[in-house]
Structure 1
Amino acid sequence: MKTIDALARGLEVLRSLDERRGQSLAELHRVTGVPKASLLRILDTLEQGGFAWRAIGDRRYRRRVSLIFRPGIDDALLGIGEIAAPFLESLRMKVIWPSDVLVHRNFRMELVETSRRQSALNVAVYAIGYRVEMFLSAPGRAFLAFCSDAERAAILADAAAHPPQLARARQVLAGELPAILGETRRLGYASRDPLFGGTEDKPMHVHDDGIDAIAVPAVANGKVLACVNLVWPRKYRLKAQIVADHLGDLQDAAGAIAAAAARAPKCSTE
């Protein structure tokens, strides 16, 4: 029986997209053997048909999470990044500063989408899947402040069993955390610790990504689905101005992401 060559090529590309880390155009070309010009047309067709998407954070192509009949936890979390992408881009166009969306997984915050690459501003860029510590980062503190008591207790129990590598994180855990979380709830946003350089294993004098950040939770049906931040170079000392001018915009974006995720079966809020 004669096959439809164009359809066969499209299915081969779609099969190759079944990888959570995503693939670049060059990688897909190497794996499938489809010429790049044809590959671009196939990918455009798959995107328009709702079968594939291209993350703004790393420009890699992925098949849509909604195509998975029985999504696992990683698929559900990545689906929040897929949903968040247009809201992040709209937020960046409005406030200039880029943002990340992070979800809680295995006692860390995990990056699932970011608009940093689209920004002309000089800020450090982390790959999708980058894991962020809980007690010094703005997203980690936002999650801890607004998550359920059970989730918070589990995170603290893990930290007690596996103490953080950073001395500053251990100091926060030893006595400062309740006040930090109380202030976060009062203000409605979390702030990055001024002594946090961006990694969970290197102190600031060894590694400093040079950014500052605030973050808010994306909440649906009483559950924190993700946290959304705004980031900017710390040297500009803009926190007070950004809070005054753009906290409402950040909260609106987080609310829109949560509402869209709540409507999507793959991002269950149960």
Structure 2
Amino acid sequence: MRASTFEPSPDSAVEAQPLTAEVDERKFVVALARGLELLRAFRPGDTLLGNRDFVARTGLPKATVNRLAYTLTVLGYLRLDETLGKYALDAGVLSLGFGLLSGTDTLELARPHMRALAREVGAAVSLGCRDGLDMIYLETIRSETALTLGLAPGSRLSMLTSSMGRAYLAVIGEGEREALLAELQAGVGEHAAQARAARAEIAAFAREGCCFSFRDWHDDVNAVAVPFRDPRDGRWLVLSCSGPASSMGEAVFRERIGPRLRALARRLDQAR
């Protein structure tokens, strides 16, 4: 049994992805992990990626990328645009996403409450979870009465700069948190202020019961987030509420939205 971080074999420079449990090397399939890293290389807004993009984003050797991309294309997870020589995600990935969403009873439980809160406060209310070093949106409900921000399901957020990521970091075990923060800080390089702001919010969680992000993730986005246990399997999920910083200041999130979001998280947690 080895430590809880995937360390690739010497012939691969694929970025290490922290795992939540110890890895049994006898059962861990490195080739499968590499294939999934290729699919994770797609980011919000990406439609086509070439082999050079895959190499740059995963650190995998070009020959490995070629084989993985071919295999994923044959299996229906990637689609090759032969004219451009680049790949797009195909229907196989979509079917996996629908499988996740349809199997998440918590979404069905949370949606009406999220919709009511979005309508009440005039902001976007989202539900997300951790995915590697990011947070990923499972659902977003936008206010029907006001211009609000809100990313679509599947969108990824920085764990350091988003309120959702900070709330997740605040609630997990200290050892896992420090390992994740080390990985995250290695990736931000000169932007050490991001790490300091994240640590300050994490430290304040015990007092506030939530984490904030005021213009940290985006220049015109303020947000608050609260973690809770998934009633189905006990994993940590995070509720967040976000809105334009130009019209929804810090006081709105601290005094009005934060308490309502905490109350909603408690209701969902007690649904177990």
1:131 positional shift: 0.8
Q: Over the residues paired in the alignment, what is the CA RMSD in angstroms?
A: 3.3
Q: Which residue in the other structure is 2:180 paired with?
A: 155
Letter in 2 for 1:172: Q
Other structure's SS at 2:246 match: helix
Looking at structure 1, the residues matched to 180 and 103 of structure 2 have their Cα atoms a distance apart, in angstroms, of 18
**Rounded Cα–Cα distance in structure 1 between residues aligned with 2:215 and 2:150:** 19
Aligned match of 1:172 in 149, 174, 194?
194
Q: CA deviation at 1:217?
A: 1.3
- The within-5 A match list for 1:100-115 is 100-115=126-141
Report if aligned partners of 2:107, 2:139 keep a CA contact under 8 Å in 1: yes
1:249 aligns with 2:260: yes
Structure-1-length-normalised TM-score = 0.55
Query: Which residue number corresponds to residue 164 of structure 2?
Result: 139
Q: String of CA shifts for 1:49-99, please: whole Å, max 9, x gaps.
A: xxxxxxxxxxxxx99x8xx8xxxxx56985543432122112223333221
Q: Measure the CA separation in 2 of the matches of 1:76 and 1:226.
A: 16
1:46 aligned residue = none
**% identical equivalent positions:** 21
TM-score, structure 2 as length reference: 0.55
CA distance in structure 2 between the aligned counterparts of 1:215 and 1:91, rounded to whole angstroms: 13
Alignment of 1:89-238 (within 5 A): 89-116=115-142, 118-159=143-184, 163-164=187-188, 167-168=190-191, 170-173=192-195, 175-197=196-218, 208=219, 210-219=220-229, 225-238=236-249
> In the TM superposition, what whole-angstrom CA distance separates every residue of 1:3-37 from its partner, at most 9, and x where no partner exists?
xxxxxxxxxxxxxxxxxxxxxxxxxxxxxxxxxxx
Partner Cα separation in structure 1 for residue 245 and residue 197 of structure 2: 23
How far apart, in 2, do the equivalents of 1:147 and 1:220 lie?
14
Judged with a 3 Å threshold, the aligned counterparts in structure 2 of structure 1 residues 78 and 110 are, in CA distance, closer, same or farther, namely farther
Amino acid at match of 1:191: F
Q: Secondary structure at the match of 2:130?
A: strand
Please identify, of 145-154 and 127-136, the stretch whose mean Cα deviation from structure 2 is larger. 145-154
List per-residue Cα deviations over 1:151-173 (Å, max 9, x = no partner): 3134224325x5137x54x3333
Letter in 2 for 1:109: M
Contact 1:100–1:114 under 8 Å retained in 2? yes
Report the CA distance shift for 1:194/1:258 in structure 2 as closer, same or farther (over 3 A).
same
Question: Number of paired residues?
Answer: 178
The CA distance in 1 between the partners of 2:101 and 2:257, in whole Å, is 31
Q: Do the aligned partners of 2:148 and 2:244 also contact (CA within 8 Å) in 1? A: yes
* Change in 2 beyond 3 A, CA 1:220/1:157: same
